[in-house]
Structure 1
Amino acid sequence: MLLVANIDKLGVLTYLAEKLIDVSINTRALIRNITLLAFFSSMLLTNDVAILSLMPIYLTITKKVPDMNHKLTGAVLLIIAANLGSSFFPFGNPQNLFLFSYYSLAAGTFFNWAFLLLLVSFVFLFLSFFWIKKSPIPNQEEPLPSIDQRNIIYLSLIGLLILIGVFDLLPYSIVIPIAILLLGIYDSSSLKKVDYRLLATFIFFFIAVGNFSQLETISLLIKKQFTTSSATFFGSIAVSQVISNVPAAILIAPFTAQTKALFFGVNVGGLGTIIASLANLIGFKIYKQYYPNQSKQFLLMFSLINLIFLIGFIVLFYFIL
């Protein structure tokens, strides 16, 4: 979280977004570029940070182009892209980091699954762009922000150190203190900007779900429901719609050996309802800040597009699993 905060503060995403906007000749190209940026950047910077960084940029542009077509569609696709793209690396979202650690997955196994999900996600997103009408957008005259290359190198090396810990090449007890120290030296003020409430939320999720799963009636029920790959896949998607995909992964993992099905289930399960993923709520909150009178329209469009994506993934992965 410290690393991501400092990368965001450096303005890397803003630079890339402005560059893509500069080369966008119409609204379809603009939405495609900002969506794909969210897709690929979320792999390294997590889905939440990609949305927090790119959604305000996108919505600022829509303010400059009042008659922009498919404004709502673009916002929804950006959120979907961040959710799907973040599934490629174990650290891209919390549910994958948990599953990677809990099941002690080999890197090769994880990336085999993740690449398949990434490929299907890219194809679905690419096809969705054809529904967006082309209309011209005015040229942006604002200069591109400058970025200190030395800082990029410094933060990249810290990111590499954290990756070494994620893949168990060095223990977390060594990697994390060193990373915190180096990031504190880089910018001590970032220590105050960490969302400690979010960290506490995950801790309490682990405690609450752990205690919940100790109840004999609940544990027997879950064990019966998640014995096959199809049941685990569909069940984890269904649970994600109600309590979101991170706690769904934490709840189900102790009761099933269907790791592959659970991986696809909780990642696909971030699609669907507005509460299926924390990133969905973050995107909705930002949109409301820019367009407070369009909450109902956003929720309707969000539900419709997410349902289409979710059905597509379910049909495809049902035959794969």
Structure 2
Amino acid sequence: MPPVPATSTTAHLPSTTLLGTLWHALCADRLLQLLLLVLAALAIWGSAPLASYPALVDWPTMAVLTGLLALTKGLELSGALSWLGQRLVGAMATERRAALLLVLACALLSTVLTNDVALFVIVPLTLGVCRLTAMPPARLVVFEALAANAGSALTPIGNPQNLFLWQLSRVSFGQFVWHMLPLAALLTLALLALTALTFKPRPLTISAGAPHVKLEHRLLWVALALYVPLLLAADLHQAGWALLAVLAILALLRPAVLAQLDWGLLLVFMLMFVDLRLLAGLPAVQAAIAQLGLGEPGRLYVAAIGASQLISNVPAAIALAAYTNDWKVLSYAVSVGGFGSALGSLANLIALRMLKDGRAWTLFHLYAVPFLLLATGIGYALLFSPA
């Protein structure tokens, strides 16, 4: 989805205002435009009253997602993420070790920063390392996209679909992690093994040192300190009040955090809730899905993986959750569904767009499709094999 050039109208809107940010997002984001068009069509031809649309949004999920994005932006503006990246660069001796460190770092960061945010940290670092060395960036970024999907499967805050299903299941943070641990661990180990086989132990020479990063300590410690209270509040189903506190503290401490927040991305997720739940309520859609037999866990598993390949795993989770209460199977399926097609996960699209290399799309599928088959087998065995 290539960006659309800004018109003269958008150029005069201040980028630091919420209205300006949303306007720029609307002009640049094809997915956002598509969701708005679908919403308009459903409003015209659907039967649901407009007043019912806000109730279709899962507000606790949106509250936690907004809080996490705000705190992550605070970490970014504090300089902590750049500082961490430089320390990782200093630990690299060979191409294989560099690849393993970056892939593992991406997987680990995805468990706490969401897979999208982890890629925004790791991919620029990777491109910088590749500019200073002989390492080809495309293959490394492809592996990082796979790592973001594998690592993010572990926690409720690792990706938006987990966050949604966690809130829907109403289980504790620890219960969700315990359920996802076998899948995330096996996928990550398999990916690290593939990384070690793919990248050679050639010496890695850094031709120039990284510039000094100045840490903004107060912003760093405040952002870190607010993570745990936000997650505890979400676990107690008080995410709304926690979000208000987080936004108020950051607004007083560093208003630029809120000004630079990706409000357009949040709008995309809200529209996904509304559009997909309106579609799920259409009689024709209900009749078609009823024929799939989603009450049978095996069919639900296959259907969710297949749907993720076509519409991405976040919309797939939102759409299919309307037809099943089996969050355990659905969470495994949409995590596995992030592999394979580039459309399987928004993280895939983010990584490939940041790489800006058209040939990388073919390379991505050469690795991601076989990994999807492996991940499908692993997930099925964990879910359905006799104990």
TM-score (norm 1): 0.92
**1:311 equivalent in alignment to 2:373:** yes
Report if the CA contact (8 A) 1:271-1:310 is conserved: yes
Deviations 1:161-196 (A, max 9, x none): 21112212x612321111110111221012111222
How do 1:143-158 residues align onto structure 2 when only pairs under 5 Å count?
Answer: 145-158=213-226
SS in 1 for 2:213: coil
Inter-partner Cα distance in structure 2 for 1:213 and 1:178:
34
Query: How far is 1:145 from its partner?
Result: 2.6
Number of residue pairs matched by the alignment: 312
How do 1:70-219 residues align onto structure 2 when only pairs under 5 Å count?
Answer: 71-130=137-196, 131-139=198-206, 140-142=208-210, 145-168=213-236, 171-219=238-286
Matched letter for residue 277 of structure 2? G
Inter-partner Cα distance in structure 2 for 1:184 and 1:149:
17
Inter-partner Cα distance in structure 2 for 1:230 and 1:11:
46
SS in 2 for 1:185: helix
Inter-partner Cα distance in structure 2 for 1:286 and 1:221:
37
Higher mean C-alpha deviation, range 125-134 or range 50-59:
125-134
Work out the percentage of aligned pairs sharing the same amino acid: 27
Query: How far is 1:109 from its partner?
Result: 3.0
Inter-partner Cα distance in structure 1 for 2:145 and 2:80:
19
Inter-partner Cα distance in structure 2 for 1:154 and 1:126:
34
Matched letter for residue 200 of structure 2? K
Higher mean C-alpha deviation, range 300-309 or range 106-115:
106-115
The match for 2:354 among 272, 277, 286 is 286
Matched letter for residue 29 of structure 1? R
Query: How far is 1:149 from its partner?
Result: 4.2
Deviations 1:245-302 (A, max 9, x none): 10100000010132211101111111111111111111111100xxxxx412x11110
Report if the CA contact (8 A) 1:223-1:256 is conserved: no
Inter-partner Cα distance in structure 1 for 2:88 and 2:227:
25
Inter-partner Cα distance in structure 1 for 2:256 and 2:173:
34
Structure 1 gaps, min length 5: 289-293
SS in 1 for 2:341: coil
Report if the CA contact (8 A) 2:146-2:339 is conserved: yes
Matched letter for residue 5 of structure 1? K
SS in 2 for 1:227: coil
Report if the CA contact (8 A) 2:277-2:322 is conserved: no
Inter-partner Cα distance in structure 1 for 2:290 and 2:156:
26
**1:244 equivalent in alignment to 2:312:** yes
Cα RMSD (Å): 1.7
Distance 1:33 1:144, change over 3 A: farther
Report if the CA contact (8 A) 1:85-1:118 is conserved: yes
Query: How far is 1:54 from its partner?
Result: 1.3
Query: How far is 1:304 from its partner?
Result: 1.1
Report if the CA contact (8 A) 2:338-2:344 is conserved: yes
Report if the CA contact (8 A) 1:273-1:303 is conserved: yes
Report if the CA contact (8 A) 1:44-1:91 is conserved: yes
Inter-partner Cα distance in structure 1 for 2:173 and 2:351:
30
Structure 2 gaps, min length 5: 1-68
Matched letter for residue 270 of structure 2? I
Inter-partner Cα distance in structure 2 for 1:48 and 1:9:
17
Distance 1:241 1:203, change over 3 A: same
Matched letter for residue 94 of structure 1? P
Inter-partner Cα distance in structure 1 for 2:199 and 2:247:
44
1:301 paired residue number: 363
Inter-partner Cα distance in structure 2 for 1:4 and 1:45:
7
SS in 1 for 2:358: helix
1:4 paired residue number: 72
SS in 1 for 2:344: coil
TM-score (norm 2): 0.77
SS in 2 for 1:254: coil
Deviations 1:196-246 (A, max 9, x none): 221111111111111111112312332342121211111111101111010
SS in 1 for 2:343: coil
